[in-house]
Structure 1
Amino acid sequence: MIVKMTQLNKDDFKKANEGFFVSGRIIPKYENEIWTYTEEIFTEPYYKEYEDEEIDISYIDEPDKAVFLYYDDKNCVGQIKLCINWNGYALIEDIAVAKDWRQKGIGTILLQKAIEWAIQNNLAGVMLETQDVNISACRFYAKNNFIIGGVDNMLYSTFQTAHEKAVFWYYKF
């Protein structure tokens, strides 16, 4: 069951945020105005997790923002955080599925909810950013008909993750 975040369930925000093993990376290539990629599999995977963030309660009340939570019975096991981006796309700022619930279709259901929300808001499509080393996420977006729209090799240059490249994925209507 997917429900919009409200004052009553806002404490469930980030419950699904769990780390993952980095087993490789994609290597994007831009040629003839088309992005493609190959994969490099690492010999030694490593564990990565994102920092928890506090929920901005404006996502509850403002019509150009939303958080949808996925529940299995009473447990929040997935979430997607969206806003209307300056370029006329719905920006997926965060999508997370608890590790024991991955590979069960929850992420796809959450993406479909984002697409539905973008259509309801008369947007051009859906976009998001992930890192080249999040190979599972990149495969997931490609499987769900997202295409690479650009790569930024400087976005993380001042962080410990400076070796990572930002990959921007788009689902255009």
Structure 2
Amino acid sequence: MIIKMTHENIEDFNKANEELTVFGRIIPKYKDDVWTYTEELFSEQYTKGYDNEDIDVSYIDNENKTVYFYYVDNDCVGQIQLRTHWNGYALLEDIAVAKNWRNKGIGKILLERAIEWAKENKLIGLMLETQDVNISACRFYSKNNFIIGGVDNMLYSKFPTANEKAVFWYNKFED
């Protein structure tokens, strides 16, 4: 069940934000105005976590922002956070599914709700950023009609241990 974040369920924000296993990276290639990628699998895997974002109550009452939670029974096992962006896209700021609930279709359901929200707000598509070392996410976006729109090798340069590139994905809706 998908429920929009409200003052009553705001405590569920970040509940689904759990670590992921890094097992390789994508290697984007730009040629003839088209991005493609291959995958490099690592000989050793490692886990990576993301810091929890602070709860921003403006996502509750602002029509240009929203957070949706996915519940199984009364347990929040997924969330997606969106806002309108200056370029006419909906910016997918975060999508998370709890570790024990991954690969069960919850991410796809949340993504479908994000597409509905973007279309309700007359936006031209969805955009997001993830890291090249998050192969699972990259595969997920590629499988769900996203294409690479750009790569930034400086975004994470402040963090010497990150060794990551930012990959920007876009899903432009059909006219």
TM-score bracket, shorter-length normalisation: over 0.9
Q: Deviations over 1:74-125 (max 9, x none)?
A: 0000000000011110000000000000000000000001100000000010
Distance in 1 (alpha carbons) for counterparts of 2:80 and 2:110: 6
Secondary structure of the residue aligned to 1:91 is strand
Paired AA for residue 112 in structure 1? E
Matched residues, percent identical? 70
The aligned residue for residue 29 of structure 1 is: 29
TM superposition score normalised by structure 1: 0.99
Secondary structure of the residue aligned to 2:137 is helix
The RMSD of aligned alpha carbons is 0.7
Secondary structure of the residue aligned to 1:11 is helix
Q: Deviations over 1:145-164 (max 9, x none)?
A: 11000000000011144410
| CA apart distance, 1:53 | 1.4
The aligned residue for residue 118 of structure 2 is: 118
Q: Deviations over 1:8-50 (max 9, x none)?
A: 0000000000001100000000000000000000000111000
Distance in 2 (alpha carbons) for counterparts of 1:124 and 1:149: 15
TM superposition score normalised by structure 2: 0.97
Secondary structure of the residue aligned to 1:112 is helix
Count matched residues. 173
Paired AA for residue 70 in structure 2? Y
Unaligned runs of 5+ in 1: none
Secondary structure of the residue aligned to 2:113 is helix
Distance in 2 (alpha carbons) for counterparts of 1:108 and 1:161: 31
The aligned residue for residue 164 of structure 2 is: 164
The aligned residue for residue 2 of structure 1 is: 2
Paired AA for residue 163 in structure 1? N
Distance in 2 (alpha carbons) for counterparts of 1:29 and 1:13: 36
Secondary structure of the residue aligned to 1:129 is strand
Secondary structure of the residue aligned to 1:115 is helix
Extract structure 1 runs of 4+ deviating beyond 3 A.
Answer: none
Distance in 2 (alpha carbons) for counterparts of 1:161 and 1:121: 39
The aligned residue for residue 154 of structure 1 is: 154
